Amino acid sequence: MNADIANININGIETKAIIGCYDYERGKPQDLLIDVIAELYTHNWMKQDKLDTTVDYDAICDYIVSLVSNTEFLLLETLTQFVANSVVDKFSLIKNVEINATKLAICGVKAREIKVGFKKSRQFKVALALGSNAEFLPQQQLITTIEILGEYVDNIEIGGFYETKPVGYLEQKNFYNTAITGYTTLKPEELLGKIKSIEKLMGKTEIVINGPRIIDIDLILVDNLIYQHNFLHIPHKNAHDRDFVLYPLADIAPSWVHPVLNKTIAQLATEIKESSIIIRTEYYK
């Protein structure tokens, strides 16, 4: 059976808040109705049928009432954005959420119904390492790969490009390596699937273990997650020993803390004892 997608709709959460731009609206809390449309991450609920595989509806309602009642925004637009961001941060099983807020009256006097909505998708900060020792233009292979990754990863930052000696299988050309950070709405295993598709698109084959390759993309970090799913390990289980991963990543995310080792990327880079790096080239712009 394929996993299903669930949308949770909760309408008419009653709460109060100081809301409005005018002086006569700032004197006391006003009545608000909050509607929630939440899309959960894919799951097969028929297998488990347990509360911990979904989101507790009462918990959402109680959280929103408590959250909203302590706000004093001028605009409903600001309030809905704040609530959407907070709900996504609070409930990790929610993939996307839409919040609609309705002001029923102004200072107790029934007014035209004013309703404003805001939709928020969960984003993960990710770090990826890239390498190539293609026969022709390996640096261009990295650049092309980064451009393709831009379809799935937003706000990409790119570390320096490093020429490095091969590790393991030595009878091959030097590699060029870099690292990127950015934000994605994809879960780790979903992003890994896209990575494998990009590697295939770029023509990657691996006849010899640690041998020549046109492109190699590794998912190194996802927020501060410690996560394992089949062959996927987050953080990447070998990244902390690889200078060709740590050095370019330290260029753009030196203070990112490794969630297992509890050390920053910059600290880990300084602890590398044997370097494979030959030269660092200019940043790709």
Contacts of 153 (CB under 8 A, 6+ apart): 126, 128, 180, 182, 183, 184, 191
Q: How far apart are CA 102 and CA 27, in angstroms?
A: 19
Q: What value does the mean pLDDT of the chain take?
A: 88
Residue 119 · residue 98 · CB < 8 Å: yes
Residue 120 · residue 84 · CB < 8 Å: yes
What ranges in the chain are assigned the alpha helix state H? 45-48, 57-69, 76-90, 138-149, 188-201, 243-252, 265-270
Q: How far apart are CA 202 and CA 271, in angstroms?
A: 33
* Tens-place pLDDT, residues 83-138: 999 999 899 889 899 999 998 876 665 656 677 888 888 889 999 999 998 878 89
pLDDT of residue 198: 96
* Tens-place pLDDT, residues 203-243: 887 665 666 788 999 999 999 989 888 889 999 999 999 99
DSSP-assigned letters across all residues of 43-99: B-HHHH--GGGS--HHHHHHHHHHHHHT---S-HHHHHHHHHHHHHHH-TTEEEEEE
Question: Given a cut of 50, is residue 153 above it in pLDDT?
Answer: yes
Burial 211-242 (b: 16+ CB within 10 A, else e): ebbbbbbbbbbbeeeeeeeeeeebbbeebbeb
Give start-end residues of each CATH 3.30.70.560 domain in the chain.
124-280
Through-space distance between the first and last CA atoms of the chain, rounded to whole angstroms: 46
Structurally, what CATH architecture does the domain formed by 7-121 represent?
Answer: 2-Layer Sandwich (3.30)
Instruction: Tell how strand 124-132 and strand 216-222 pair up.
Output: antiparallel
CATH assignment of 124-280?
A: 3.30.70.560
